[in-house]
Amino acid sequence: MRSKKRALRVLHVCSEIFPYLKTGGLADVTGALPPALAKMGCDVRMLVPGFPDFVNPIQNKHLVAELPPRFGAHALRLYYGTLPQTGLSAYYIDAPGLYDRPGNPYIDIYGQSYGDNHRRFALLGWMAARLVEGFDFFWRPQIMHGHDWHAGLAFAYLQVLQRAKGEKLAGSVFTIHNMAYQGNFPGHVFGELDLPDDLFNPEGMEFYGQVSFLKTGLSYADKVTTVSPTYAREIHGGEQSCGLGGVVQRRDPDVVGILNGIDTQVWNPSTDDTLATTYNARSINGKKQCRLALQQEMGLRSQNTAPLFCVVSRFASQKGLNLVLGVMNMLLEKGAQIVIVGNGEHHLERAFSDYAHHHPQQVAVRIGYDEALAHRVIAGSDVIMVPSRYEPCGLTQFYGLRYGTLPLVHRVGGLADSVTDTTPENLMDKTATGFIFDHFDISAMEDAVNRAFALFSQPREWRVVQRQGMKQQLGWKHSASEYKKLYDEIRV
């Protein structure tokens, strides 16, 4: 009788997981990809810092190891438990002196980065290597999968461990969610990281005299993934490589782009209880009611003769919101309405708020982020604008597609990989899903906006494009299978 194949053991190392702790798209990925892998038969566990937002909800906690002081943590323990909702198993590092703080995971209440972030996240990486070494007698990962710079040092500690043991102990994957966030620290902190001196060199962790957590992962992981195929190509050089193009080129055979997915249960207009009414691709009329409800909620004039545009975004220069400001007058003159949700750079907050003050029936702005409000805004809008200067993957365009809200995007990164432009050819063969512009300037975005108005004036054709977008396979099944193939290549 053939023996049953044992499940592949995978450890995900990260600093955020939706819905417990989220500052950006990283949390959405780490909240959805591991459960998708578990459905494919992987034995998946998470490792996270002991932030209160993780510690409080974890159930069935028990102690795995109690350790002497390290990296500035005077009380240091490793616990294991279960994440509610997904039922996934998770380890968390109990080090209150490092993790139990006000503010978000990386900055204090005054918006300043914590001065010991290098030690806080070195501990995360060090603990990942300890789990590979066998700290948990009952479970040892065959694959260590780290996410973004916070997990970057895990690959250095694994490298040192395997060198000492003289054998490969686990395959390793490093996912770069955004090359711009590198976790760079002054070179003098290297002495606090408990790593051999020979790793601090241009082929390893050193980046113009600094210790770079992101470069460490890029240098030492078996495989490096980005969150879209186009972004994998873009980081080989130029602006989007953020100075690390040479390292990416050196690792080119091991760099893979895998497009993110979304949680299609959380983002599902047919079951979304935050909406005024539900709808789907076959029966899309409910979207009109969502539009009316959004206009009422935001104090906008009730109208259906011009499109309602929305932006749901961090207010950052990366997101191309200067282009949105550049087309605002055009949108208003053509009778459109605009709902903007987000926060960030104060000059953008003020500029959008000024428009809302002077045009209250056409422009509504909500400073801050509210998940339920984001659902209602996307469901009630006709077009969602994502004009990012660069975008490793992006998720809001997926939400727009899912909710029949046509994305208007700049052709970069994951935006280029997930939206099909409304060219005459694509409209004719019914593959179009949104509007794309190529050059990052106001003129190019205006052209895309004009095309949106032209299509909106043809309700039947608009409905065809909506339905095509809503039919896209946006979940994690395909992406998870691509990760599984990668794991199988490097498994121990």
Residues 397-427 have pLDDT tens digits of: 999 999 999 999 999 999 999 999 999 999 9
**Known binding site for ADP-alpha-D-glucose: residues?**
22
Q: Which residue segments constitute the domains of the chain, with CATH numbers given?
A: 9-261+476-490 (3.40.50.2000), 286-470 (3.40.50.2000)
pLDDT, one tens digit per residue, over 285-324 is: 999 999 999 999 999 999 999 999 999 999 988 899 999 9
What letter represents residue 101's amino acid? R
Answer whether residue 2 shows pLDDT above 80: no
pLDDT, one tens digit per residue, over 129-138 is: 999 999 999 9
Give yes or no for a contact between 27 and 59, defined as CB atoms under 8 angstroms apart.
no
Q: Can you read off the two tokens belonging to residue 192?
A: 């606090």
Backbone φ and ψ of 223, nearest 5°: -130, 145
> Mean pLDDT, the chain, as a whole number?
96
Residue 117, pLDDT score: 98
| Closest to 26 measured CA to CA, from 123, 121, 130, 151 | 151
The mean pLDDT of 20-37, rounded to a whole number, is 92
pLDDT, one tens digit per residue, over 382-394 is: 999 999 999 999 9
6 pLDDT tier (thresholds 50, 70, 90)? confident
What is the chain's alpha carbon radius of gyration, rounded to the nearest angstrom? 23
pLDDT, one tens digit per residue, over 245-272 is: 999 999 999 999 999 999 898 899 999 9
36 pLDDT tier (thresholds 50, 70, 90)? very high
| Closest to 260 measured CA to CA, from 176, 386, 146 | 176
3 pLDDT tier (thresholds 50, 70, 90)? very low
Residue 24, pLDDT score: 82
Helices then strands (H, E): number in the chain?
Answer: 18, 18
pLDDT, one tens digit per residue, over 437-491 is: 999 999 999 999 999 999 999 999 999 999 999 999 999 999 999 999 999 999 9
**Known binding site: residues?**
22
Contacting residues for 344 by C-beta, under 8 A, at least 6 apart: 314, 315, 316
Residue 1, pLDDT score: 40
Count of residues in the chain: 492
Residues paired with residue 186 on neighbouring β-strands, in sequence order: 210
Q: How far apart are CA 126 and CA 151, in angstroms?
A: 9
pLDDT, one tens digit per residue, over 329-361 is: 999 999 999 999 999 999 999 999 999 999 999
Residues paired with residue 339 on neighbouring β-strands, in sequence order: 310, 364
pLDDT, one tens digit per residue, over 103-143 is: 789 999 888 999 999 999 999 999 999 999 999 999 999 99
25 pLDDT tier (thresholds 50, 70, 90)? confident
Give yes or no for a contact between 163 and 212, defined as CB atoms under 8 angstroms apart.
no
